[in-house]
Amino acid sequence: MREAEIRRLLAANLLCAVSIVLAAVVPAFFLDGFSVLGTHLTWLCVCSVSVATLNIILHLVLKPSQSPKRSSFAHKISRFLKCCIYFFMSCILFHAIIVLYGAPLIESVTETFLFAVLLSTFTTLQCLCLLGPNVQAWIRVFSKNGAMSIWESSLQITSVCSILGAWFGAFPIPLDWDRPWQVWPISCSLGATFGYMAGLIIAPLWIHWNRKQLTYKSR
């Protein structure tokens, strides 16, 4: 396994982590009263857009899954539209799952949906950038020993860390501490964000430590 490829992955992941930090700091210079807790819905939008934009740019620049075949313009448009549909469906699915896990059904619909968008940005968008609208490839990647590149291994780790972070973030909500960050969905979205950032750091380190065992044979 080439060290240069691991360094590229590390650099890309660090840029994604920095974009989240900037999303929490930079808007305060342009929006009065902006804060992650005080204007949480605005932050959810800014964070989702920042991470999504950077992921797309990095994919276009680094081309970790570049296909040797050239596709037509019509094929690219069709692929783009499918990706948009898949992302929207992912947001709806995450929204439904979150409600089934106890989120308000009617109240706080906007908060729940924006949280679902954030989760989709941390998970589904990465799948779409790396694998495209190919559900079979998604299933392969998230099956045991299914990753075929360090980018797919990183996708596994960051996606799982994001979902686990959101799940752990729900634990403080029922407690009667009466803290501002216990308001739905602040603790869950912060948990997902910290989980995603942890995954971004853990992934290249784990791949580097296990590089001799990771052969990534083609299937």
* Domain ranges for the chain: 1-62+73-217
What CA–CA distance (Å, rounded) separates 159 from 154? 8
Question: Mean pLDDT across the stretch 166-191?
Answer: 91
Number of Cβ within 10 Å of residue 134's Cβ equals: 15
pLDDT at 179 over 60: yes
Q: How far is CA 128 from the centre of its chain?
A: 11
Q: How many helices (H) and strands (E) are present in the chain, helices listed first?
A: 8, 0
What CA–CA distance (Å, rounded) separates 219 from 204? 23
- Output DSSP code: residue 30: T
pLDDT in tens, 141-177: 998 878 888 999 999 999 999 999 999 999 998 888 8
Question: Mean pLDDT across the stretch 41-65?
Answer: 92
What CA–CA distance (Å, rounded) separates 168 from 166? 6
Match 């990095």 to its residue by tokens: 58
pLDDT at 49 over 50: yes
Instruction: Specify whether the CB–CB gap between 162 and 196 falls below 8 A.
Output: yes
Structure confidence at residue 143 (pLDDT): 87
